[in-house]
Every structure is written in C-alpha cells, then in structure tokens.
Amino acid sequence: MKKIIIILFAAMSSLYVSAQAIHEYSIYGSGGLSTLSYQLTQGNKSIRGGGDFGLGYTFFIANEKVTETGKIFHQYWGIHTGLGLGVYSAKAKINNMEAIAEDLDDGEDTFNLFNMYTTVSGYNETQKAMYLNIPVMACFQIEQIYIIGGLKFGIPVSGNYQSNNTTLINKAYYKDLDNWLEIQEFRGYGMFRNSSEGKLKQDLTVILSFETGWNWYINSHISVYTGLYFDYGLNNVSKNKKTTFINYKKDDPKNFTTNSILSSYRDDKKLDVFSEKVKVMAVGLKVRLAYCK
C-alpha cells in the first residue's frame, strides 16, 4: 500500500509541478458595434458604434502542467469581475407613416374633443443608452490563449433619443361637429418641420458575454490582453410606458413634440406599436492592460 501511494504521488507531481494563487488588476477599453437591438413593425433600424471601458479584477489559480515529453504548459483558472461603463446606440428610419391620437382636448369649452391624424415623412431617430456593467465570469488560459465567459449585470445610467427635421402633417377630426380642421397652424394643424428629444427609461439588463484572444506578456507582472468579445442581452430593457406618438399641448398646440418610437404606439387602441422589446448587444475588439502579483 505504501508503494502504491508513493507511485500515485509521484505521478501527480509529474503532471503538476506547482500551483499558486494570482491576483490580477486591469484597466480596459473596447469598441465596435454596440447597439440597442429591436425589431420595428415599420421602417428600418441600423446598428451604430459604441463600446465600453472600465476596471477589472481576476483571481487566478495557476498551474504548471508537465506532459509525457517533459514540456511544461502554464494553465490558469479564475473568476473575473469589475466595473465597466458601456455605451449602446441605434438609429431608426421611417420614410412614411401614419399616427393617430384619439380624444385629445383643445382647451375650448364646447366641442373640444378631437382625434389627431398625423402623416410623418422622413423620420430619423437616434437612441443612446449608457449602462454600468458588472461582470461575473469564469476564465481559462493556457499559455497565452485565454477564454472568458459568463454574465454581466447592467445598471442603467442614462438613456435618450433625438429626432431632427421631420416633416409632419397634422389634421384634426371633431367627432361632435363631424368636421375636419387642417390648416389652422396656431392650433397645431397643417405642415410642420419638427425636431424632438427626450429621455428613455431603461431597466436592468442581464448580458451573456464571451471573450477570447491573446495575452502578451511585457514582464512577469504586466501583460496586455487583446481579443474579440460578444455581448447579448437576455431581457427586455425598455421601461417606457407606451403612449401616443404626438405630444399635443393644449396651452401651446403649435409647439407639439414627438415621443420616441421605442415608447409609442400608432393608435390609441394600443394595437399597433413600433417596437415591443429592446435588448443590448455588442461585438468588437477589447484591449486590457493587466498587473498581477
């Protein structure tokens, strides 16, 4: 029995000659396609650029593995976390569309309820969102090739939208009078060139994340990671309550604004929305400067 134990111990020693814990601290930046992902019921959406930067911490267990030929391979297993600020953006374009807002109040004493019908041409809207991302990921590295995979938890920091130079034609139908008004610009009816901006309400996001690449050693303590990464949001992040596309102000009707298509429906029956689900998604290049001890 004693001989068997000695043989097993010797065999294990020949496979792993050393093991040690390593603490790694890093700063990183990345860039590529970083977008809010959604599908439009009308029009087209385009992906825009973005990225993230932040700080990281990795706890490694490092092993030196000896093969049968005597060659030594360095293996690292670890857990990675940190804080990163991610920026995501998208652009939507709708050439022509119709929007309806029902039972609006023009502020008059009688026959004041009407339906607003809006014809929209050349609509372009840009959306941007910023998240504070916290990764909880597993790491594996053999020699200089590394793989990181796991989840990121995103806390919304900001979100906004902006549209410019849109042509809108408004007309109103007063049901009680059975009458149309189309040219009273002081009431917001007629042709207008409109630009609007506002806030997007974003929810927490859970992101499936993967990264792989090459670790370049500068010396025994400092290295540079370069690699490709892919992030895919698992949940709908839009918290915007769906409302009408046109914000009609009865005190100042000619200075109306438009809501984001991410928070609007085209009719008051809420049957026709522009988009239902919004997720974050990113793919690109990452560079990480690391110090280990």
C-alpha 245/C-alpha 258 separation (Å) is 6
**Which of 153, 291, 283 has its CA nearest to residue 225?**
291
Written as six digits, the tokens of 230 are: 């892919």
SS3 category, 112: coil
Question: Tell me, what DSSP letter sits at residue 255?
Answer: G
Average pLDDT for consecutive 10-residue bins of the chain (293 residues)? Answer: 45 54 94 91 85 94 70 82 95 85 69 80 91 96 94 95 87 83 79 87 94 94 96 90 76 79 70 79 96 91
User: Alpha carbon of 290 to those of 52, 57, 257, 286, 293: distances in Å?
Assistant: 17, 9, 48, 13, 10
SS3 category, 187: helix
pTM: 0.81
**H-type helices in the chain, by residue range?**
2-15
C-alpha 257/C-alpha 13 separation (Å) is 73
pLDDT (0 to 100) of residue 267: 59
Q: Are 66 and 10 in contact (CB under 8 A)?
A: no
**Which of 155, 129, 163 has its CA nearest to residue 247?**
163
Please report, as a single letter, which amino acid is at residue 15: L
C-alpha 213/C-alpha 146 separation (Å) is 6
Written as six digits, the tokens of 28 are: 């990183």
- DSSP secondary structure of 46-83: EE-EEEEEEEEEEEEEEEEEE-TTS-EEEEEEEEEEEE
pLDDT (0 to 100) of residue 69: 64
pLDDT (0 to 100) of residue 208: 97
Any idea where the domains of the chain sit in the sequence? 22-288
Q: Would you call 272 exposed, middle or buried from its count of C-beta atoms within 10 A (0-12, 13-18, 19+)?
A: middle
pLDDT (0 to 100) of residue 246: 78
Rg of the Cα atoms in the chain: 28
